[in-house]
Amino acid sequence: MVKHPMAEQDISQYLAFLLTSAHRHMRIGLGQAIGDEQFNEEHWRILQVLSDEHGRSMGELAERVLMNGPALTKNIDKLVSRGVVQRAADPGDNRRVLVYISDLGLETVVRLKQRVDAHHDVIEEALGPRKTSQLKRLLESFIAESKPSQG
């Protein structure tokens, strides 16, 4: 049997694999840090974005929290049922629906943010502030440079 030269390359040498692995570790860590059966990391992202108390359309919210439409709708339904967000007609266009955070949602996001911040502090302590800052800058640069063209 003839071995193909590419078959020998270790998958862990690929940037895509490393980014996916880092993302997986971060999600697991955040899930443990949040430690709440009713709320997860996706819920925290939604509540964090809505915590400025500006209503957001589903499209805008999906883009800000890095979720596709169906996944966002499913999560918003759960958050509405828990009383932490609400939907309302856009005062400027009754055909559009905006999502707002409730008072209970504001209390919840403060609690969740403390846990998420504590998790991030543990990561920064492990990496050190310099490496953490470098990693953030590298990721921001990668995201900016690798965005698909809007052509």
pLDDT band for position 4 (cuts 50, 70, 90): low
Whether the CA torsion 72, 48, 28, 37 is positive or negative: it is: negative
Where are the chain's structural domains? 38-130
pTM of the model: 0.83
Span 64-102, pLDDT tens digits: 999 999 999 999 999 999 999 999 998 888 889 999 999
Q: What is the spatial distance between Cα 25 and Cα 44, in angstroms, rounded to a whole number?
A: 17
Q: pLDDT: is 11 or 151 the higher one?
A: 11
121: tokens are: 């502090």
Whether the CA torsion 58, 63, 65, 66 is positive or negative: it is: positive
Residue range 38-130 in CATH 3.40.120.10: no
User: What residues form DSSP beta bridges with 90?
Assistant: 93
Span 18-56, pLDDT tens digits: 999 999 999 999 999 998 889 999 999 999 999 999 999
